[in-house]
Structure 1
């Protein structure tokens, strides 16, 4: 069988904003500003802070989405920093959203290598690419998502940071409008990264995350294809 063997060093995991000319910060966006993103995760977090914003679905690859800023008369477009940098569009980034404003998607900015479990020769070669700090953080994030039985199309977010041998995970669950939001942080030893993620998810489930997510799955908004790019 196949298994996730290693995770490479993480690129910048933050979300970024591309603003229309004349606006220097997302905080300066006018009332009712039109924001281009198809990710429910981003919509929920921004609407929680700015309920007045209009969230406009955009589709296509990164270059197409950037063009939507002018083609669809948007005030801003939100994308992942890692994708922008890897595709050579870093120069078009207007602003980076702090993690406490927009918690990234699970594993955002990280690349995983999957291999055959019994292929010792290949595994010994690719183990070199594993970045322990990223591996611990992402495994914790993935455990959080797995316990919630979610995917990249729902308003779930989790971000892990490493300090010494301690992993801090911040988890987030919301409805599609950013009205009912749950957020919690937990810290523990890196050796228990997956247990931390599962425990964090359990804490949010106790506080009603399951009910919130069930409502999301039943909503018309969720039944339109979403992409977290």
Structure 2
């Protein structure tokens, strides 16, 4: 039987990353996706708090059907609540799903732990104030952000239009020699088809939002094994993951 990891995804921008990931992951994986309500497409704190609200996520979860795990695939719609709020968000969502549940923000923390990372660069498409909240979230889990770059894009729709070369260049231009990896935190950013190219261009691990979301969901579903073509994170499946 395939492992089925449910994806809750806000709106429409880079949701087509998930069929790409499913194809790369192999025949033992299914990534059914439900679009959750996005009343306003804006990387702005008040709008993000609504996108990640308990009622919105519960409605999406009830539409998923039978799955082995669930991921709330929206980084900004989780870290904007802060550490305690993001944890409460997942706990309430899991009470609805009845299966192991997480969010992209925690997926980044757990992926960094799996790879033993301590110092990272963040290449964020968000406006600066939202990007800084992601840094604060990471710092709460003892990750040092040695460089933060903010592209200042307000809408997920615009982020979703960035193509291959723009994404590769954005990662490379915002690396730092002190960083052990580059993190690209927006699930509205297409990256799934270019994970290996991203690492080749940067010369170190690159963690992207849709990549870590799929990894976290599969880890929780019990499908945690090495897989090729998806970057260092999926290739290295032997390290510990601490709870967060």
TM-score by length of 1: 0.36
Q: Larger % of helix: which?
A: 2
Q: Larger % of strand: which?
A: 1
TM-score by length of 2: 0.34
